[in-house]
Each structure stands twice: as structure tokens, then as C-alpha cells.
Chains A and B, each alone.
Chain A
């Protein structure tokens, strides 16, 4: 064990008063946050600044932010591992640690935002794969599992080393020895571990991209201006990697200073990551221009309201502050420190500052993505309480946010105290001299020996009616005679549909991707509703006579239909010379209804009426509307299968690399002492 490793291991055991002060401070902030959350649990989300208008606020901002930060790690370290960039070795552990911790905090923020956190498990009990929330649950759980494994696997050899380090307290050594799964360091074990890590590195890249994409889809799957955007997936992914890279650099700066890791973290690491950060700031700038230019050029109604708020309205301060701190200043700082020779001595502090600004700006940017869109709905905000019109977070929200950040730092500190922040075995392989030369380009993919691994990317009753005569038995006066009306009805043959205006040849049903079941699949959705029963024109014929049997000629006979809630009046028709009257109804109506044929009466006749039950054809069977895209109460295979397939592949990869290679094979090989 050389001097720099001794120094590194000291960070695990030696804690000064500054460390305990730091822990106490974080503990205090977290306790305050827990107090605020208890209040929120007791009284509900009324404790927050949110309202029916702006119903998502700081919590969702934090969720998006932390999921973004989580891309730090794994994506960067996985890409660098796949590309076999030698200089990655001292920084992968720090990056992976950020990922694990950020994911835990990010997913907790969603629970904090819930109105009914005690019903969290309804998501598992009644989960609908058609909902973007489920995609997130699936994605984040898979990602968290993957990241914990990806943090753990490269840690195993170090745990083996630490378990045998007599300089450590016995309890610690016991912990390390249990966690090391009996690692002895035989070539077979190394071979299996390398393979497991490589498999994880390959699968974690599409997984990480998918996770931030589904996070963006919570927003992009809505109809709201500003969210209804097709570039949201990649826009979020780039933003996430950008903030994640900044988080890694900041962590490196801090650890280098606090733990005195100058031997491990050389300027070359900072310079390489600086270039990565610079290229992502350029890429993020491009995505911002693309997003805002395309909507501000057209200035449509809803987007007009949003952009006015963003560019010069109540959110302009946040918007411009976000753009300046997240992109502009870091960009200038990075160019200066990386390209101008004179600035080189300030590389590390300036990079640290730029990274801090990127992280701060990224948080503001997430706020600007979440809140202003909710503040500019389609229908104007009217008759709402004043406090719902503008969002200002309450102290409860700020406290919980502060606690989230403190919890992030605390967990990260604990990780750094439990496990060495720099991988021991990986930095042993690479000599410091090798590190100095490691200036290879960051994005270049190089083939590796372990062979290509395919990366799966998803990506009515005919017949006579009952004629019923009704006699008005009112013989008060002699003159008005009672009137008898008899009515019958018959169904006319269905007519050819009227020519409709040409609307093109497409059928909406076949155009939408998700409005038609996948070929060969049947869903629980409407089947009966698919074909609307044909319209049945109906002819009602009535014969009106007075008590002497004389026909009521040339009189107005009224028709009306009794429906569920009201009576539909068809008006009246004149009877002919024989007292007959006909009414043809061509309506969009199904079912059986009593139709009343009535005569209002005149000087010589009493009023009379008859009711006939007319059948307009059978009602369509009850079903859910065909237009309902993805509203099925059951699993929709057209959208569910791709998601399950994608994340299923990920779980298979985890099972293979950790379950099979590390747990099963390694143990067996060790037991039989057989060469591979």
C-alpha cells in the first residue's frame, strides 16, 4: 500500500471536528424539513404555495432536478468505461455515488408531492401502464436497482482489500468482509467481475437515457403549451447529463480539497471533464434555442401567453437568470479556462465555480419548465383566489427542499465515509504516469474485446306497435265530440347515407398509433361501438275520428316523443281528407320510445290523443368510446409491451451480471477452485 492509498484510507477513519459540525448542520436542516413534512402530512398540501392553477411546484422541480443530477454518475462513468478511457478510474466511484444518492432523493420528492402518500401502493395495486407516471415508476425503480449494482460491483475488490486491512476497526472490517461476498481476488473472480461490470456498463447507458426521457414524457404527454413538445425527451436528457457532469466536477473539487486527493485527481481529469461540460453547455444551448425559437417564431395563442410570461412577465427573472447561470456564464468561464493559456492555473477553482453555476442554473431551469406552463392554461384564469394566480412557495416547501439537499449531502457524505471515494483497485492498475497521458477524446467509442452486446432500444324489434286508443270520457257539453285517434308505425328501409363533404381518404381510426389494437391483440376496449348500428327511418301513421266515426279532416295533429328527461316536440301535421296523417322521422335515435299523437280540440271536438310505442332500432351495446385512446381499464399491449420489454431486458441484464456472474458463478468457482 503506497502513500496515496494510505492517505485515501485515512479519509475513512479520520474525522475531525469539522466533519462532525458538518453532520450536525445537515442533521439540523433535515430535522427541520421533517418537521415541515409532518405539518404537511397533518394539514395537507394547503401548507404549500400550490393551488388549482399551479398545481405542481418546488417538489416536482426537485424531482426533475435530482433525476437529472443522477445522470452524472452512471452515464458518465458507463460511457467512459465502455470507451475504455483510462483517466476515468479515479472519478467513477464519486460519479456513481452521486447517482445512487440523487435517485433516492428524487424519488422521495414525488412521494412528498402526493396528496395521499399513504396510498402509494395503489400504484402497484391498480397501476395502469398507459399512464406516464407508471413509466416513471418502472423506469426509476429499474434505474435505481441498476445504479446500486453498478456502484456495488466495482466496489467488491476494494471491500476485499479493506476487509484485510488491519488498520481498520473490527466492526468495519466485518461489514466489509460480508459485503465483499468472500472476494479473494483469483483470476477467475477478476474475469467474472470484469464481465459483470462491462455488461452493466453497456445496459446502464440506454437505461439512463430512457429514465430521463420518461421523466420528460410526464410533461410532454400533456396538451399544455410549453410541454407539448416533441423534443422534450432529448432536451431533458442533455440537460440531465449537463447538470450531472457539473455535479461530478463539483464533487471532485470538494473531495480533492477536503480529502487531499491531489495524488488521484490531477488537472488532466478536470480538463477532460471540463471539455465534456463545455460541449454539453453548447449542446444544451442548442436545445434551448431550438425549443424557444420554434414556438416564439409562430407565437400561437397558448404559447404566446407562456412566452410573454417567460420573456418579460412574472417569470422573466427566473427565465433569464436560468439561461445566464446555467449556460452563458459557465460557457464563458469554461472557454477561458480551457482555451486561454494564461488562465490555466485557475483551472480547478474556475471549473468548480462553473459547475456550481450549472447546478444552480439547472435547478432554476427545471422550475422554469414546470411552473410557467401551469400558469398559462388554455382557458383564462378567472374567479380564482388571488393566491392561486401566482405561485410563491411556502416556508414548508422551502424547508423540505432544503432538507432534500441536506439529505443528499448527508447520504453522500456517509457513502464517502463508508467506502473509499476513489476506487483502489482501478487506480492500482493505472500508474500515475499513465494518467498524465490519458487525454483521449471523451466521446469516442472504441470497440472492446468482450464482444458486441446488442443494445435493445425501444424504443332494435320489427312488427306492429300496440295502438292504444284513449277516449276522453268527458261529456260535459253536447257540442264537442270526443275524438279517437289510432296510430301505427312502421320502419322504413334504411336509406343510403347522404353524401358527405370530402374529408380526404384517411380514416382517423387507422391513423393514430394507439387508437387501434395491435394486430392479433384484443383489448378490453369497445367492440360493439366499432360499428354504429344503422339509422332506421320510421313512419308514424295516425287516423283521427270523432265519436260518430267521421274522420277529422284537415286538422292539425301533433306528434311528440317522450324521452328520459324531456318531451321532444315534432310539431303538428295537417290531416288529409280521410283524417289520416303521416310523419316520417329520420333522426339519430335508438331504442323504444312512446310517441304521442294528439289533437288539441276545437269548438266542435274534444282533445284526443293516442300513444304508440315506436322502436327506432336497437341501442348499441354499452361500451367505452372507440375514440378513447388508451383509456382501457386493462393493460394496453400497444403501449405496455414496449415498456415492459425494455425494462424487462434491463432486469435480465441485472440478473445475469449480478445474480448469475457474481453471486452464482463466483461462489461456485470459488467452491470448486476450478479454472474458468
Chain B
């Protein structure tokens, strides 16, 4: 190449032609790789979008949901796939109970950061956990702002009932050592047209569950309410909306509740009532 101005311009042009050519090449390669249907496992059995609504005004912190969940999923000890928190922002404002399942976020940090796609989003909105694939790096635990994930640190204690089942990604049992576990919205019950174990077990009828596209959520008492009418009884909220995780679990504020507050309950338990 001559070191003239023309030579320089020519080399520039040749360079840009190369750059444009390789860009087109990369583009078509990537499109060929990506222009595929979603993988089989990401396709839900039904075209529904599951959503949960927890009416905090009805939650009295009895933890029946936790017990039902643990029983149904044979959840290993020390894990609570649905945990009932006692939330105290500040003492003057009072406290309330808050059941926390997996939020099945639409922008799930865990799915984003899983190195092997062991945790993945399904078209019905459920974030599933593939125990056959999980490598146990616990990056998802670090990622989840809701502390919704647990890890099997040792071999989980098994029961004959649990071992009688064959492992299925929709049930997540029998449980295994060295993998991450969490609430999976009971997909096998949803398939059967039943409410998830926690929602079915809630005596207060605080947990509503349903299909967002149906605009209806139902609780254990068979009460069905319209998701889009939540605002009529005082706007609902999602946990940590500011984090941009877009959870699929909604909460109705703990107003006009008809049971003891966490403080009153504690005072009662302490025999001070």
C-alpha cells in the first residue's frame, strides 16, 4: 500500500468494507442461532399466566400455608418455600404479617444470572428449578432480593412417601443434595385445576391465586376477585417494586384487619393479655 493520501483513503475504505462485512456475518450467524422457537421446557402446558395476590388484611400469621407446602413438597427441614415474615418498618407505624413465596418475577435476577439455565422462566410465568442441571454455585441465592431460595447443604432426610415418587421438574422431589430449591407455584396441582398447596390451606382465605389473562384470582374459600379491581379496595403493591424485578405476586395492604396484630399476638403468647 502506498503511503499517499489516496493509499490511506483506499485502506480506510477497504477497512470499512471488512468491518461492514463481518458485522453482517455476525448478524446472520446470531440470527440463525436465535431465530428459534422457545425450547420445549420453557413452554407451559397451558396458555395461562399465573399470578398470586396475598391479602395482608387477612393474614394472621398462623403459618398453615408453610405447613401445607412443606407437607405437600416434602420440603427438607429448615427450608420454608413460603415463609411468613413479620414486617416492622418502624415500630410507630406498626407491624403486619407477610407471606413470601417465590415472586416468579417477570424480570428474574436468578434466571438472568444462572450460568447453566438450571432455573428458567416458563411461558405461564412460573420460574422453575431443574434439579438435574443445577451445579450448586448459589449465584441465584446471591441474586434473589426476596431470600426466596434455599440450598440443600447436605443430603436431605427422605421419607418413603417422598422416595416413592419419580423426580419431576414440576414437583421438585425427591430432593437432592447440593442443589438450590424454592417455591415453584405447584405446577402439577395447577395442571389438575387445583389451587397451590399454600393457597388451598389458608383458613383465612388470604392467598388468592389465578390466571392473569382471566383477570380473576381465587382463594381457598372459593372467593374469586378481579385482579384489575384491586385498586378499588385500596391499591395493591408488589414487594420491592423499585428493584425492577416485576414480581408476579401482589399484596393488598394490611388495612382494617380483623385479627390480632403481631405485637398483640406476642403479648398474648407471653401471657400478658
Do A and B belong to a common assembly?
yes
SS of A interface (majority): loop
A286 to B47, CA, bound (A): 54
The count of A-to-B residue pairs whose CB atoms sit within 8 angstroms is: 260
Residues of A within 8 A of B209 (CB): 565
> In the complex, are the beta carbons of B34 and A593 less than 8 A apart?
no
With both chains docked as a complex, state the minimum distance between the C-beta of A46 and any C-beta of chain B, in angstroms: 3
> In the complex, are the beta carbons of B116 and A123 less than 8 A apart?
yes
> In the complex, are the beta carbons of B210 and A622 less than 8 A apart?
no
Stretch at the interface among B6-14, B133-141, B165-173, B251-259: B133-141
> In the complex, are the beta carbons of B146 and A379 less than 8 A apart?
yes
Residues of B within 8 A of A523 (CB): 34
> In the complex, are the beta carbons of A128 and B114 less than 8 A apart?
yes
> In the complex, are the beta carbons of A380 and B85 less than 8 A apart?
yes
- The verdict on A128 contacting B214 (CB below 8 Å), with A43-B155, A115-B151, A641-B26 known, is no
**Which of A561, A569, A631 touches B107 (beta carbons < 8 Å)?**
A631
Q: Mark A441-457, 1 if CB is under 8 A from B, else 0.
A: 00000000000000000
A44 to B30, CA, bound (A): 40
Stretch at the interface among A150-158, A215-223, A306-314: A215-223
B202 within 8 A of A: no
Closest to B153 in A: A46
> In the complex, are the beta carbons of A131 and B151 less than 8 A apart?
no
- The verdict on A566 contacting B222 (CB below 8 Å), with A116-B179, A128-B117 known, is yes
A47 to B154, CA, bound (A): 8
With both chains docked as a complex, state the minimum distance between the C-beta of A271 and any C-beta of chain B, in angstroms: 42
Residues of A within 8 A of B16 (CB): none
Q: Mark A117-128, 1 if CB is under 8 A from B, else 0.
A: 101101101111
B54 within 8 A of A: no
Residues of A within 8 A of B33 (CB): 634-635
Closest to A564 in B: B211
A561 to B215, CA, bound (A): 11
> In the complex, are the beta carbons of B27 and A521 less than 8 A apart?
yes
B60 within 8 A of A: no
With both chains docked as a complex, state the minimum distance between the C-beta of B193 and any C-beta of chain A, in angstroms: 6
> In the complex, are the beta carbons of A126 and B151 less than 8 A apart?
no
Residues of A within 8 A of B107 (CB): 625, 627-629, 631
A144 to B33, CA, bound (A): 29
Residues of A within 8 A of B214 (CB): 563-564, 589-591, 593
> In the complex, are the beta carbons of A633 and B117 less than 8 A apart?
yes
> In the complex, are the beta carbons of B113 and A566 less than 8 A apart?
no
> In the complex, are the beta carbons of A634 and B224 less than 8 A apart?
no
**Which of A46, A224, A383, A633 touches B142 (beta carbons < 8 Å)?**
A224
A133 within 8 A of B: yes
Residues of B within 8 A of A382 (CB): 83, 85-86
- The verdict on A634 contacting B116 (CB below 8 Å), with A382-B85, A521-B31, A568-B216 known, is no
> In the complex, are the beta carbons of A378 and B134 less than 8 A apart?
no
B112 within 8 A of A: yes
> In the complex, are the beta carbons of B226 and A568 less than 8 A apart?
yes
Interface size band for B: 35 or more
B123 within 8 A of A: yes
Of residues 353 to 377 in A, which have CB atoms within 8 Å of B's CB atoms? 374, 377
Of residues 218 to 265 in B, which have CB atoms within 8 Å of A's CB atoms? 218-219, 222-228, 240, 243, 245-246
B152 within 8 A of A: yes
Q: Mark A205-242, 1 if CB is under 8 A from B, else 0.
A: 00000000000001101111001000000000000000
> In the complex, are the beta carbons of A221 and B30 less than 8 A apart?
no
A630 within 8 A of B: yes
> In the complex, are the beta carbons of A567 and B34 less than 8 A apart?
no
B121 within 8 A of A: yes
B125 within 8 A of A: yes
B44 within 8 A of A: yes
With both chains docked as a complex, state the minimum distance between the C-beta of A395 and any C-beta of chain B, in angstroms: 16
**Which of B121, B146, B218, B227 touches A588 (beta carbons < 8 Å)?**
B227
With both chains docked as a complex, state the minimum distance between the C-beta of A127 and any C-beta of chain B, in angstroms: 6
A397 within 8 A of B: no
A566 to B211, CA, bound (A): 10
- The verdict on A114 contacting B42 (CB below 8 Å), with A128-B116, A521-B34, A593-B214 known, is no
Of residues 5 to 63 in A, which have CB atoms within 8 Å of B's CB atoms? 43-48, 50-53, 55-56
A619 within 8 A of B: yes
Q: Mark B115-152, 1 if CB is under 8 A from A, else 0.
A: 11110110111000000011111110111011101111
**Which of A130, A133, A563, A634 touches B216 (beta carbons < 8 Å)?**
A563
- Which residue, A52, A221, A563, has most C-beta atoms of chain B within 10 A? A52
> In the complex, are the beta carbons of B113 and A625 less than 8 A apart?
no
Residues of A within 8 A of B37 (CB): 524
Residues of A within 8 A of B115 (CB): 123, 127-128, 131, 133-134, 137
A629 to B110, CA, bound (A): 11
A593 to B180, CA, bound (A): 38
Residues of B within 8 A of A378 (CB): 145-147, 240
- The verdict on A637 contacting B113 (CB below 8 Å), with A382-B85, A565-B209 known, is no
- Which residue, A128, A377, A591, has most C-beta atoms of chain B within 10 A? A128
A641 to B31, CA, bound (A): 12
Residues of A within 8 A of B44 (CB): 622
B102 within 8 A of A: no
> In the complex, are the beta carbons of A114 and B135 less than 8 A apart?
yes
A584 within 8 A of B: no
With both chains docked as a complex, state the minimum distance between the C-beta of B32 and any C-beta of chain A, in angstroms: 10
Residues of B within 8 A of A624 (CB): 38, 42, 121, 123
Q: Mark A623-662, 1 if CB is under 8 A from B, else 0.
A: 1110111111111010001000000000000000000000
A635 to B27, CA, bound (A): 12
With both chains docked as a complex, state the minimum distance between the C-beta of A621 and any C-beta of chain B, in angstroms: 8
A388 to B154, CA, bound (A): 14
- Cβ-closest 5 pairs across A and B: A115-B136, A566-B218, A115-B178, A46-B154, A133-B115
Which residues of B pack against A, CB within 8 Å? 26-27, 30-31, 33-39, 42-44, 47-48, 78-80, 83, 85-87, 100, 106-109, 111-118, 120-121, 123-125, 133-139, 141-143, 145-147, 149-155, 177-180, 193-195, 209-211, 213-219, 222-228, 240, 243, 245-246
Given contacts A218-B142, A563-B218, 13 further A-B contacts (CB under 8 A): A44-B154, A45-B151, A116-B135, A130-B112, A224-B142, A522-B35, A565-B210, A565-B217, A565-B224, A566-B222, A590-B213, A628-B112, A633-B117
